[in-house]
């Protein structure tokens, strides 16, 4: 499958994956190490912004939503095993992203159903209501830079006392703004670029695979 290769967007994905991995190392193996969790705060804002970009560029938003939700179910068992909780005690990030996409679509269409994803996120979603609202904030940022910055900062301040470390998610804002300004999203070779389908799914598959690996490492080496 051919398509424009967006260097900046690809970089956002890799930074998001790398910081997420660091975060999971901290959460699973070294829960007392705040440095790892602080680095990890960068990942979710990037994934939130990428979800908004996905809504903008997908040919079929229903398939995009379904794909995210499907990987949520695929990832739930390795996620639960890795973090050491019951299978439905804590739903993984794909559930948050899928309903965040639904939230963005509702905002885009100015639908009165916008409250539904927020309510559903109360069902033990990773990042819960904050996660859905952050994805919505990234949608605002795409529409208006100044307003979006203010909304993202305000949202994090609102949750400051409930989740102190999450304020470090603002470290992702300069990275996002660099892309959003158009200075980092130039095609690598305009007119002669290829984006294979497997590369897109690589980022989906990595999530359950690395959690499975982490669970096995924890099982055999971290008793």
Domain count, the chain: 1
Residue 200: its pLDDT value, please?
A: 74
Task: Confirm whether 156 is domain-assigned.
Answer: yes
Task: Confirm whether 2 is domain-assigned.
Answer: no
**C-alpha span between 187 and 197 (Å, rounded):** 17
Confidence band for 7, pLDDT divided at 50, 70 and 90: confident
Residue 201: its pLDDT value, please?
A: 83
pLDDT digit string, tens, across residues 23-64 = 999 999 999 899 999 999 999 999 999 999 999 999 899 999
Residue 193 predicted with pLDDT over 70: no
Task: Confirm whether 93 is domain-assigned.
Answer: yes
CB-based contacts of 147, cutoff 8 Å, min separation 6: 140, 141
Residue of 140 and 202 predicted with greater confidence: 140
Task: Confirm whether 1 is domain-assigned.
Answer: no
Residue 214 predicted with pLDDT over 50: yes
Task: Confirm whether 164 is domain-assigned.
Answer: yes
Question: Which residue matches tokens 């690809």?
Answer: 10
Question: Which residue matches tokens 């994956």?
Answer: 17
Task: Confirm whether 91 is domain-assigned.
Answer: yes
Query: Can you give the residue range of the structural domain that contains 151?
Result: 7-221
pLDDT digit string, tens, across residues 73-106 = 999 999 999 999 988 899 999 999 999 999 999 9
Task: Confirm whether 55 is domain-assigned.
Answer: yes
Residue 197 predicted with pLDDT over 80: no
Task: Confirm whether 151 is domain-assigned.
Answer: yes
């Amino acid at each position: 499958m051919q398509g424009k290769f967006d260097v900046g967007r690809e970089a956002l994905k890799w930074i998001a994956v790398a910081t997420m991995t660091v975060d999971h190392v901290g959460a699973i193996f070294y829960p007392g190490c705040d440095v790892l969790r602080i680095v990890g705060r960068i990942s979710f804002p990037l994934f939130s912004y990428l979800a908004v970009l996905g809504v903008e560029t997908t040919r079929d938003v229903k398939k995009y939503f379904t794909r995210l939700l499907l990987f949520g179910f695929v990832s739930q068992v390795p996620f639960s095993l890795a973090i050491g909780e019951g299978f439905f005690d804590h739903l993984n990030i794909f559930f948050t992203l899928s309903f965040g996409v639904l939230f963005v679509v509702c905002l885009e269409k100015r639908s009165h159903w916008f409250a539904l994803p927020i309510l559903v996120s109360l069902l033990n979603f990773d990042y819960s209501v904050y996660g859905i609202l952050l994805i919505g904030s990234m949608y605002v940022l795409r529409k208006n830079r100044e307003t979006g910055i203010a909304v993202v900062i305000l949202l994090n301040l609102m949750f400051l006392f409930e989740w102190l470390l999450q304020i470090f998610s603002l470290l992702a804002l300069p990275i996002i703004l660099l892309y959003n300004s158009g200075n980092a999203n130039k095609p690598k070779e305009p007119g002669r670029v290829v984006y294979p389908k497997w590369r897109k799914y690589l980022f989906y598959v990595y999530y359950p695979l690395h959690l499975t690996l982490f669970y096995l490492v924890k099982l055999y080496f971290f008793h």
